[in-house]
Chains A and B, each alone.
Chain A
Amino acid sequence: MELMDANTLYRDGVTAIRQQDLTTGRKLLTQSLKLDDSNENAWVWLARTFNDPEQQIKCLQRALTLNPDNARVRTAIDNLQGKAHDAPAKIRRKQKTLTADETVRIHALMQKAAKSAADGDDEAALSAWVDVLAIEVDHPEAIRSAVQTLTRLKYYEDADELLWRAIEAGTVQPSIYHTALDLARKNENFERIKAIREHIITLPDPHESLVIRVAQEYMDTNQDEAAAKTLVHALKANPNHQKLLVMMGEVQTRFGRTDQAVIYYNRAAKISTITPEGKDADKRLSAFPPVLTDKERGSILLASREVLGIVFFYLLLAWQDVGLDLANMDVPHIFGVILSGIGGYLLITATSSPQQTPLARLFGGVVTDEHRAGIVFEKNGALQESSQLPILAESTRLVLGIIGAVILVLAFALTFSVAIDLLLNPITPSDIPVPGAF
């Protein structure tokens, strides 16, 4: 580390900021303020190196404590506080593209650091790593080595600062966040833990391990709202992440929203039941009614399957009625079986499959508010997700159901005509054999 006084560092820092090199500017100003934290202007300039309003406010507040009469700083804080309050979960990742010179310089610095570390010169090694991090704020090897060394030397605050700087710059390396959280926990720096967690959920696509950790930590401390917020954010980026879905299900269960929990567990289980998370979701689902999806409700194939069951039943009736001789089946019996298919289909459509695609729309079905609104309970107890499928109107279903039932009765009369005739005019056999029970 070059030996420079606070003023020189301050001047260089300001120059760097004016040249739009915010990272270097921040580094130099931070070093300057470490040597002399009473430089009011250094705090103001440092604030300009941050994009996060909260960080800017912290810097400006330090400046204000040094000069409470600074009206410009006060106004800036007021403005920023409004901004921080309304700040959306914005994307803060600003991955810098390294120039060729920077790459060469990083390589040289890393070699220098490695040599110094091998020689046991921690200070020189640290200096080189910090220089690397000034160029690339989240250089994996440099930050890991620097943090390890600083932690070993018990310079926890410096290690924390390096990590936080990388986080502030929008690094996407999960190990940096994990290390920062571990370090903050070790130092019992709860403010830092909170800041890191909040930062994670502003990332556009936070690493799953981070989200899971943060959500789990929130859940372990009964901060279920925060856990839900974290998981919702992560699920937007990874809607098919089983572990996140299961955790979300658990959070919903804690809220007492079991219907929502089922939806999340069901989604997780549907992805796969081979994975431990899928098995877990499937196991949890056994305590709830299953979810009926739009795909299942809208399927003509699944409705036809039930119709096939009814047709099979009528076929058995007709087969018996013609004396167990299929070849002997006459036109009324065949017609009865065919009718059973038509009647069965109408009855099934009216009862268990009123949302078949595209039949429901063709019959004037609409998407009801109840279905669109969210989760509702069906009559048979199966949960449904919010649906965009049209459903037949109650009156249409009633009419179809009645027509279907009448057709089925007619089909029964045709397929069982001989038996009905015998029922009305029974013929008793003369011989009385011994009964066989089964």
Chain B
Amino acid sequence: MAIIVAILLFAALNLFLSAITVPMPINDHGTVRYNSFPYATAGLIFINVVVFLAFQAPDIIAFVTSERNSIEEFNAFMSYQETIDNYGFRGINLREGYSIGAFTSFTSMFMHVDFNHLISNMIFLWAFGRRLEDACGSARFVIFYLIAGLVANMGTAILASASDLSSIGASGAIFGVMGGYLLLFPFAWMGCIWIPAIVVRFALRVLVRLIGDKPEGNFRWTLQIPAILVVGLYIGFNVLPTFNTIQSGELSEGINYVAHMLGFLSAILIFLFVRKDLLTRYASGRAL
């Protein structure tokens, strides 16, 4: 138990530190018009967490807790790799009919490398998914999510065909969700954690207190940034590596940028899934 808590704390710290460089969206402040509970978003997060905890976390924990260079550590590593190879996405699985074939397109979407990977993806899914699900309805949102993931995987297999690495993670689908969100609600305010802003805000409050005044309102940890800037920032980080990957045909840096970009581009399909009335509103230039 202590090990799990330690791992989770480490993952949280890692995420917190990653928010030093770029703002991390954790929430959106748009109107949820249908006031529906985001069953699909919550369900997808639940499945991702369950799949990770049931099939991957035991190997990771065994690996971390085993004595270094021991047989237990090796076995844990092998088991972890085997899971990824069998259920992660690889072009060869489709082309040669290995493992469970095209089913890996789905299974890979619900697998993650480690806790940090899982938590960061789920935060993004929660931040962008709820309102998009509200705009589509749960069933259509799930199909859109799966299509974005499929496009991301297939694109990787086609554009990075020289690579034989297994790809796992929900981020291809999540980039699709982010893209859909960007198309429908470009100027919605996202609540983001960004360490420099928190530090400056905190320092200013201290300064106000030092000069004997009382700061207005409660301290807020999040910074409100328009979706177009947040998503634009993350897409910007992916553009160059994507071209590098396409040029070399190999996945690089352990991150599948091609999947991110293709998932994002698949967002154009959101118009096939958004509610009829919202589509009409969108087409007539009205606010969603």
Contact = CB atoms under 8 A, between A and B. Distances in A.
Interface of A: 269-270, 273, 282-283, 285-293, 296-297, 299, 302, 305-306, 308-310, 312-313, 316-317, 319-321, 323-324, 352, 380-382, 416, 418-419, 421-423, 426-429, 431-438
Contacts of B151: 316
Interface string B139-152: 01001101100111
B167 A438 contact: yes
A433 B280 contact: no
Given A323-B95, A433-B166, A436-B165, A296 B102 contact: no
Interface in B159-179: 163-169, 171-172
B33 A288 contact: yes
Contacts of A435: 81, 84-85, 88, 113, 165-168, 254
A141 B287 CA distance: 46
Contacts of B276: 292, 296-297, 299, 302, 352
Contact of B102 (A288, A289, A416): A416
Given A423-B103, A437-B113, A290 B33 contact: yes
A408 to B, nearest CB: 11
Nearest to A301: B276
B154 A324 contact: yes
Interface in B175-217: none
Given A309-B269, A320-B102, A418-B102, A286 B285 contact: no
Interface string B253-288: 011110110000000010111011111110011110
Contacts of A316: 147, 150-151, 154
18 contacts: A273-B285, A282-B286, A289-B33, A290-B275, A290-B281, A292-B277, A306-B273, A312-B272, A316-B150, A320-B102, A380-B34, A380-B275, A422-B98, A432-B81, A435-B81, A435-B85, A435-B167, A436-B167
Interface in B111-128: 112-113, 117
A422 B99 CA distance: 7
B99 A428 contact: yes
Contacts of B82: 428, 432
Given A282-B286, A313-B143, A423-B100, A429 B35 contact: no
B95 to A, nearest CB: 5
A267 B271 CA distance: 23
Contact of B97 (A317, A380, A422): A422
A313 B176 CA distance: 14
B94 interface: yes
Contacts of A270: 284
Given A313-B143, A320-B154, A419 B103 contact: yes
Contacts of B35: 289, 381
Given A426-B86, A436-B255, A437-B256, A324 B91 contact: yes
A296 B278 CA distance: 10
B242 to A, nearest CB: 11
B132 interface: no
Given A320-B150, A321-B101, A433-B164, A286 B86 contact: no
B193 to A, nearest CB: 22
B31 interface: yes
Contacts of B157: 324
A246 to B, nearest CB: 14
Contacts of B280: 293, 296
A302 B144 CA distance: 16
B14 interface: no
A373 to B, nearest CB: 21
A429 B277 contact: no
A382 B33 CA distance: 9
B167 A419 contact: no
A419 B255 contact: no
Contacts of B102: 317, 320-321, 416, 418-419
Closest 7 CB pairs of A and B: A438-B256, A309-B272, A419-B101, A422-B101, A436-B165, A320-B102, A419-B102
A427 B85 contact: no
B158 interface: yes
Most buried by A among B85, B112, B272: B272
B254 A437 contact: yes
Contacts of A421: 101
Contacts of B249: none
Given A290-B33, A320-B102, A422-B100, A437 B167 contact: yes
B269 A436 contact: no
A286 B287 contact: yes
A286 B287 CA distance: 8
A382 B275 contact: yes
A426 B99 contact: yes
A427 B99 contact: yes
Contact of B284 (A273, A319, A323, A437): A273
A308 B140 CA distance: 12
A135 to B, nearest CB: 51
Nearest to A303: B276
B38 interface: no
Most buried by B among A380, A416, A435: A435
B93 to A, nearest CB: 8
Nearest to B114: A437
Given A289-B33, A309-B269, A302 B279 contact: yes
